[in-house]
Structures are given as structure tokens and as C-alpha cells.
Amino acid sequence: MDIILLQDIEKVGDKHTIVTVKDGYGRNYLIPQKKAIIANAANREKLAVLKQKEEELAQKMISTFQEYAAQLADKVIKIGAKAGEKGKIFGSVTRIQIAAALKDQFNIEIEKKKIEMPDEEIKELGNYTVVLNFHKEVAPEVAIEVFQD
């Protein structure tokens, strides 16, 4: 079954792309959840209009994203965590905590899925670098310091 994705779906495809999925997955999950629509002739024509509107909105947002990148250029995001004597964190630092720290420290909101981490989770104290994928053209690297809380 060919469908048009209405949002990014991990391991399936990006927003506004036409992909082929199994009939049951498309009919029973993606379409009822409004994550995709059937890729028939009428919807394919609407896709061009949707892409154009999305691109116009993204172009307006690029300047904002560039301001965010400049604001974060030489800054370090500080995240406190409880850790043992050898520096191993009780639990881990995740994308959710990084997004919350960005909001608290710099008043910048970003979706957690747009934060690209060196590993899936940070499990030790220290300095790390993450990539914030605001847009295809704006993806700054930001330093993170995980310290003993």
C-alpha cells in the first residue's frame, strides 16, 4: 500500500514522502492515527501544495533557528545528575532532560526527537556534544556538561 506520511515516523520515512507499507500497518494504524493518508491521485496533487506551504513556513523559521544557533554558539548546557563515587550516573541523561535544560537555561524549545546524542543515553558525568536538528540547514553542535548534583 502506498501512503503519504503526514509526519516523520522513525524507520518508515519523513514527512510528506510517499512510502510503501504493509496494508494492515497503513490501514489499521497510520491512517486512523492521522499519521498518513492513502497516496491516490487526488492526495498526490495535494502533496505538492502541502510541500510548498511547509517549505514557505520553514524558510520563515530559518532566521529564528539561526538566532538560536548563534545564541548557543559558545554556551554550555549544564545538567545536574546524582552519581556514584566513580562518576556513573544513577539512571541516565536523556533527550527529554536536554530539551528541558534548553528551555530553562536559554528559553529555547525543541522537540526531543530533534536532539541527536552521541549515544542513546548519557550514563557518566562529563562533557558531551549533541546536535540540535532545528532544520536541514541549521543543525548546531552544542556542548553539554553533566555535573554532580
Q: Are residues 142 and 97 in the same domain?
A: yes
What pLDDT shows up at residue 127? 92
- Give the CATH number of the domain where residue 107 resides: 3.10.430.100
Whole-model pTM above 0.75?
no
How far is it, in rounded angstroms, from Cα 17 to Cα 8? 9
Cβ–Cβ under 8 Å, residues 130 and 96:
no
Q: Are residues 120 and 93 in the same domain?
A: yes
Instruction: Pick the last residue of a domain from 34, 62, 90.
Output: 62
Q: What are 47-83's pLDDT values in tens digits?
A: 888 888 888 888 888 888 888 889 888 899 999 999 9
Residues 94-121 as b/e (b if ≥16 CB within 10 A, e otherwise) read: ebebbbebbeeeeebebeeeebebeeee
Q: Are residues 109 and 49 in the same domain?
A: no
Q: What are 23-42's pLDDT values in tens digits?
A: 999 999 999 999 999 999 99
| Structural domains of the chain, count | 2
Q: Are residues 72 and 143 in the same domain?
A: yes
Q: Are residues 81 and 125 in the same domain?
A: yes
Range of the domain at 56: 2-62
Cell output for 99: 530539551
What pLDDT shows up at residue 87? 85
